[in-house]
């Protein structure tokens, strides 16, 4: 299958070193993304778009989310920058609900944990939807891939 990611690297060279917990979240998120994803670069009138599969380097630079894509043979496939502004509130909300969830797991009854987890999933879906909108015309991803990429954005954002 050509419309997919086969390698994901998070470029955190400009960020503080991640904690052990964040590093574990990164590993899990990348593993999940590589297990199942759909990632297509749409045809462009001004240039040829190489077929996938693709290798992705994801970074935060100068308040932008940077997608740098190469082919399987590591030839350039495309690059684009997305402003972090549209992600700020949903990332903040996601971190807050995750904190509530982790606190609830320690001391709340299952019904309250389930309610918080449903809210967490809703915010995660909102982040994925924002990402799909921001990628419009640049890359086509399904909702599951967008969810997994949003997780990586959060992990990178936390590191920064």
pLDDT digits (tens, 9 = 90+) for 45-93: 777 888 889 999 999 988 899 999 999 999 999 999 999 999 999 999 9
Each residue's pLDDT tens digit, 130-143: 999 999 999 999 99
Which tokens belong to 120?
């967490």
pTM comes to: 0.89
Q: What is the CA radius of gyration of the chain?
A: 16
- As a whole-number percent, the residues of the chain with pLDDT over 70 amount to 98
| Higher-confidence position of 75 and 99 | 75
Which tokens belong to 77?
């496939």
Q: What is the mean pLDDT of the chain?
A: 90
Q: Is the pLDDT of residue 145 over 90?
A: yes
At residue 160, the pLDDT reads 47
At residue 90, the pLDDT reads 94
Q: Which residues in the chain belong to E strands, given as ranges?
A: 5-11, 39-40, 54-61, 64-71, 76-83, 140-141
At residue 159, the pLDDT reads 54
């Amino acid at each position: 299958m050509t419309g997919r990611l086969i390698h994901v690297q998070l470029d955190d060279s400009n960020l503080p070193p991640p904690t052990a917990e964040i590093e574990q979240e990164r590993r899990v998120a990348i593993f999940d993304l590589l297990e199942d994803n759909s990632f297509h670069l749409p045809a462009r009138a001004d240039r040829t778009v190489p077929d996938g599969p693709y290798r992705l380097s994801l970074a935060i630079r100068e308040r932008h989310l940077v997608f740098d894509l190469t082919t399987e043979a590591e030839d350039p496939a495309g690059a684009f920058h997305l402003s972090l502004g549209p992600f700020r509130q949903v990332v903040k909300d996601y971190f807050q609900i995750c904190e509530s969830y982790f606190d609830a797991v320690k001391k709340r009854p299952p019904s309250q944990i389930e309610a918080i987890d449903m809210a967490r999933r809703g915010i995660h879906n909102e982040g994925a939807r924002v990402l799909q909108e921001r990628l419009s015309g640049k890359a086509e991803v399904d909702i599951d891939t967008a969810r997994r990429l949003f997780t990586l954005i959060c992990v990178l954002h936390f590191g920064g």
